[in-house]
Structure 1
Amino acid sequence: MNLCFDQSLGLGYKSNSQKIRVMSESWVNDNIFCPVCGNARISKLENNRPVADFQCPSCGEIFELKSKDGRIGRKISDGAYDTMISRITSMTNPDLLVMHYSSLQVVDLTVVPKFFFTPMVIEKRKPLSPTARRVGWVGCNILYGDIPEQGRIPIIENQNFRSKDRIVQDYARIKRLQTGSIEKRGWLFDILNCVNVIPTKDFYLKDIYVFADKLKIQHPDNQNIEAKIRQQMQFLRDKGMIEFLERGHYRKLL
């Protein structure tokens, strides 16, 4: 597999960001299968579609691509804040493809399923200054580091493609966590992040209760945090993410 961008595609553009956009999108169009259904290709959509770059011609799944020269940090710059929030709250946001490249070669590529997004992982940026061409425009950052690790499915790791079958299986397994409620989605992934922080495979309910104060800040309207924690632990158990061993005792199956 050729991991190099086709540099000839950028010759007609002046800005480096435009060159990278054209080259990275062309590379994905030519090389990447659909991580949802396994179809051999995902197709480039027309330019200027808000929060959308590709679509699978088989299952219809839509993807947005974000590329960065260097390691992906905690935040990823994205487009208009209002557009992103509207898509998330109406359940029409796309899956996210996150590409790390270096020396115009793909190093890592990850897919984040659309149902792992909540308004809490979208950070509103300051409006553009009066001297900017788009004065007052408000963009956003995706708080990539706040998305649970289970929602960041590797396709390419350190320039090595993972098995297509494994990726599709990983996506199908994590899709069991999909919920149509933004509130439930937020609670579920906040608890999942807490579970991920616990260093041991086996753990106890008291280990999750340690995060109660943090969860109160994240969910100020909830007056019974511990009961909500137990509810979400039951949901994770029912979806095969954790195993119930005995009263208050669990094991990670993530």
Structure 2
Amino acid sequence: MDTCLDMSLAAAYTSHSQRARVVTEDWVERNMYCPRCGSGHLEHLKANRPVADFACPQCGEIFESKAQRGALGRTIADGAYDTMIRRIHESNNPDFLFMAYDLDLGRVKDFLIVPKHFFVDSLIEKRKPLAATARRAGWTGCSILLDEVPSWGRIAIIRGGLVADKEEVCRQYRSTSFLGDMNLSSRGWLMDVFRCMEEIGSIEFTLSDMYRFEERLAILHPDNHNIRAKIRQQLQMLRDRGLIRFVSRGVYRKC
């Protein structure tokens, strides 16, 4: 995988956004593989297809690509809110590719994938509608809350200009594929519990540590009236999937 962008493609465009789009999408098409099946390349789809830019010619997995200059921040601007929410509820919702690039140096700095099964409603932030005086008055966009994705859902393909091993990327991707068999509500619970677990600074943690998040989880899931039992259930599921280890009664270790 080459981190260099083909800057010659930018010569035909004047606006920064057009130059960036052409150059970064060309890079993805030339360099990116499918982490689901291991196919060596992705195909660029027709322009203006909502929430899909690339597809794997072998397994059919689809991908949406987002790129921004500088560094990846806490949030990533996206398109229409209603379109995004509708798509993440569909069975063919895309995996997301996020790129940070340096257009002056012509290089990809960071590149990561967030598999589609990590997307739940709480990761999509609704933005303010456009003013009545705007050309698209009332249009409502959204932002992806990248920092709210659990760490095992942000799989680095390039970090700081260094390329990760393809087999390790594919292994990480497949290790969480079980989430795709869960409904959105169940996925939301599991990820909320995992995010709480990640806030605990130590590698080992206890049930008492997790119970400190009881109030937060009760607000996020007001229909559940037995939060502690639900926490234990989610930890059991994470343990069964090899994402955490059971150490002793009430004690767990992050993998």
Bucket of the pairwise TM-score, normalised by the shorter protein: over 0.9
Q: Which amino acid aligns with 2:98?
A: V
The match for 2:159 is 157
One of 166, 179, 182 as aligned partner of 2:181: 179
CA distance in 2 between counterparts of 1:22 and 1:124 reads 27
The match for 1:94 is 94
* Structure 2 unaligned blocks of 5 or more: none
Contact 1:179 1:185 in 2 (8 A): no
- When the two chains are superposed, the root-mean-square deviation of aligned CA atoms in Å is 1.3
Aligned: 1:4 with 2:16: no
| Cα-to-partner distance string for 1:87-119 (whole Å, 9 max, x where unaligned) | 112233200000010123101100000000000
CA distance in 2 between counterparts of 1:177 and 1:238 reads 13
Aligned: 1:250 with 2:252: yes
CA distance in 2 between counterparts of 1:193 and 1:220 reads 18
CA distance in 1 between counterparts of 2:91 and 2:59 reads 17
Instruction: Give the secondary structure class of the aligned counterpart of 2:131.
Output: coil
Once the two structures are TM-superposed, the CA of residue 73 in structure 1 deviates from its matched residue by: 1.1
TM (norm. structure 1) is 0.95
The match for 1:50 is 50
Contact 1:101 1:107 in 2 (8 A): yes
CA distance in 2 between counterparts of 1:32 and 1:186 reads 29
Instruction: Give the secondary structure class of the aligned counterpart of 2:181.
Output: coil
The match for 1:68 is 68
Task: Map 1:60-209 onto structure 2 (within 5 A).
Answer: 60-102=60-102, 103=104, 104-209=106-211
CA distance in 1 between counterparts of 2:14 and 2:130 reads 23
TM (norm. structure 2) is 0.95
| Cα-to-partner distance string for 1:6-58 (whole Å, 9 max, x where unaligned) | 22322333321121111100011011111222211011100000000000111
Contact 1:84 1:93 in 2 (8 A): no
* Structure 1 unaligned blocks of 5 or more: none
Q: Which moved more, 1:223-232 or 1:144-153?
A: 223-232
